């Protein structure tokens, strides 16, 4: 059975080997499979400036093996859209304590039959609802838009699409809501939560440094 585990700097020591697996899989999937060459590293790990103490990972783990994952990062801090893709957000970059950036989403090849994907999408909505996050932002290829529509996510583009490495991409904001959580659960016939919290996790919004705002 696959569960989606919440990993923050509060409980990371319990998950160190899974976090290393996550970095290695990210390299395999984004640098090698997807060909995002800027991410290539000799050590075979994809680790960037946003893999710091503010990152939150939602890791799909089945029998001790990471089979999918995603990362959230506070928009109140410098993040990928503000640092690298501000030109994609011509309608303004949403930034607030209640808005997180969503990156590095994947499912391992042998699990790409929809269900792990939907568990991760449901876990994203559920986790954000629990933590008082109202919106997540992301830079995505255009094929994400019908996928989100299919599972009932409410999406707002932040600007017009721009071609990046040959693919039309858009920055978007995705609303967090009970309706979207219910909708993705119904779509995938997920009857109950897959979200697991282990250890003492402090509420996320308490941990963002005000000084950085």
What residue ranges bind ligand A1S (CB under 6 A)? 29, 34, 102-103, 105-107, 112-114, 117, 138, 140, 143-144, 147
Of 34 and 197, which CB lies nearer to ligand A1S in the complex structure?
34
Q: How far is the CB of 87 from ligand A1S (least distance, A)?
A: 18
CB nearer ligand A1S, residue 29 or residue 204: 29
Are 200 and 10 in contact by the 8 Å Cβ rule? The answer is yes
Q: Judged by CB, which is closer to ligand A1S: 6, or 107?
A: 107
Nearest distance from residue 103's CB to ligand A1S, in Å? 5
Nearest distance from C-beta of residue 200 to ligand A1S, angstroms: 28
Q: Please, which residues bridge with residue 2 across strands?
A: 62
Pairing between β-strand 167-175 and β-strand 162-164 as defined by DSSP bridges: antiparallel
Query: In whole angstroms, how close is the CB of 65 to ligand A1S at the nearest point?
Result: 15
Q: Among residues 107 and 122, whose Cβ is nearest to ligand A1S?
A: 107
CB of 92 to ligand A1S, least distance (A): 20
- List beta partners, residue 56: 72
Closer residue to ligand A1S (CB): 18 or 26 = 26
């Amino acid at each position: 059975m696959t569960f989606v585990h919440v990993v923050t700097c509060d409980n990371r020591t319990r998950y160190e080997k899974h976090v290393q697996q996550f970095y290695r899989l990210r390299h395999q999937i984004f640098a090698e499979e997807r060909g995002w060459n800027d991410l290539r590293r000799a050590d075979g790990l994809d680790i960037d400036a946003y893999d710091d103490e503010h990152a939150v990972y939602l890791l799909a783990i089945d029998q001790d093996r990471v089979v999918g994952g995603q990362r959230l990062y506070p928009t109140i801090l410098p993040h990928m859209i503000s640092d690298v893709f501000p030109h994609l957000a011509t309608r303004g970059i949403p930034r607030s304590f209640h808005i997180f950036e969503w990156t590095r989403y994947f499912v391992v090849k042998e699990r790409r039959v929809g269900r792990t994907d939907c568990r991760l999408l449901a876990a994203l909505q559920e986790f954000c609802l629990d933590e008082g996050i109202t919106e997540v932002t992301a830079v995505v290829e255009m094929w994400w838009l019908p996928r989100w529509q299919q599972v009932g996510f409410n999406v707002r583009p932040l600007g017009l699409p721009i071609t990046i490495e040959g693919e039309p991409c858009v920055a978007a904001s995705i609303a967090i809501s009970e309706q979207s959580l219910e909708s993705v659960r119904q779509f995938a016939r997920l009857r109950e939560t897959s979200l697991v919290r282990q250890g003492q996790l402090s509420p996320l919004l308490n941990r963002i440094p005000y000084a950085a705002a």
